[in-house]
Amino acid sequence: MSGKPVLHYFNIQGRMESIRWLLAAAGVEFEENLLMGQEDLEKLRNDGLLMFQQVPMVEMDGMKMVQSRAILNYIATKYNLYGKDMKERLLIDMYTEGMADLFELSFKVILGPPEQRDATKSLIKDRAKNRFFPAFEKVLKSHGQGYLVGNKLSKADILLTELMYCVEEFDASLLTNFPLLQALKTRVSNLPNVKKFLQPGSQRKPFTTPEMFEEMKKSFKF
């Protein structure tokens, strides 16, 4: 073990990508154990490393952490990306839980029946444009600061930036009417650690299409 966090997951974005984003933004180097077939997953299970028999799992600080939101909260707390007090943490949690609703819809495009994909994509675009992005734009406008909470980079800004990149894969024009969100995306993307993560050849995973997921599934028993 090198002392670096080790991320155990499939070679796709999925539920590990937000963890990759958060670690990268915090400037934390990490290693990955990419599961390429059912035998890799079964080894983790048989070795007793997966509390609920599923990934993502992150080895960090002597722990084998599971459940993506718990992992994100730990990383955010450790690297001072979780606000300065309980009220700020509440706001960060509120905002990131809203983001999670939209992320979950994006997963349905990949995991859901093919005949429902177009309807799900339309719902994502509608919810982004008419529910979630207006809410976050309003937050930024209300305090006139550069970040969502406390005028300081937090987990919420990083995950919102990831989300904006994600939904733009469905419709590149979705941010057109949200200048403050566009500015936040640019601001976070230009942070040195994030800028490095966004470069080709980094540990950031490409946008996962249904076709990519179906190809990956051939090596697993889902």
CATH assignment of the domain containing 130:
1.20.1050.10
Per residue in 107-117, pLDDT tens? 999 988 999 99
**Do residues 58 and 102 both lie within one domain?**
no
**Do residues 184 and 202 both lie within one domain?**
no
**Do residues 150 and 172 both lie within one domain?**
yes
Q: Does the residue 53 lie in any domain?
A: yes
**Do residues 37 and 124 both lie within one domain?**
no
**Do residues 50 and 71 both lie within one domain?**
yes
Q: Does the residue 66 lie in any domain?
A: yes
**Do residues 100 and 170 both lie within one domain?**
yes
Task: Tell me which residue range forms the domain holding 98.
Answer: 86-191
**Do residues 73 and 104 both lie within one domain?**
no
Q: What is the pLDDT of residue 221?
A: 85
**Do residues 170 and 97 both lie within one domain?**
yes
Mind giving me the DSSP string for 165-211? HHHHTT-TTTTTT-HHHHHHHHHHHTSHHHHHHTSTTSSPPPPPPHH
Phi, psi at 9, each rounded to 5°: -165, 175
Q: Is the peptide bond before 56 cis (omega within 30 degrees of 0)?
A: yes
Q: Does the residue 217 lie in any domain?
A: no
- The whole-angstrom separation of Cα 120 and Cα 136 is 22
User: What is the reported pTM?
Assistant: 0.96
Q: Does the residue 216 lie in any domain?
A: no
- Measured in whole angstroms, the distance separating CA 34 from the mean position of its chain's CA atoms is 17
CATH assignment of the domain containing 12:
3.40.30.10
Q: Does the residue 1 lie in any domain?
A: no
**Residues paired with residue 59 on neighbouring β-strands, in sequence order:** 6, 64
Q: What is the pLDDT of residue 19?
A: 98
**Do residues 31 and 127 both lie within one domain?**
no
Per-residue pLDDT of the chain (222 residues; tens, 9 = 90+): 459 999 999 999 999 999 999 999 999 999 999 999 999 999 999 999 999 999 999 999 999 999 999 999 999 999 999 999 999 999 999 999 999 999 999 999 998 899 999 999 999 999 999 999 999 999 999 999 999 999 999 999 999 999 999 999 999 999 999 999 999 999 999 999 999 999 999 999 999 999 999 999 999 987
Look up tokens 């904006």; give the residue. 164
Q: Does the residue 220 lie in any domain?
A: no
- The whole-angstrom separation of Cα 56 and Cα 34 is 11
- The whole-angstrom separation of Cα 86 and Cα 177 is 32
**Do residues 68 and 31 both lie within one domain?**
yes
Q: Does the residue 215 lie in any domain?
A: no
Domains in the chain, number: 2
Kindly state the tokens that stand for 43: 């080894």
Q: What is the pLDDT of residue 11?
A: 95
- The whole-angstrom separation of Cα 119 and Cα 122 is 5
Residue 115, number of CB atoms within 10 A of its CB = 7
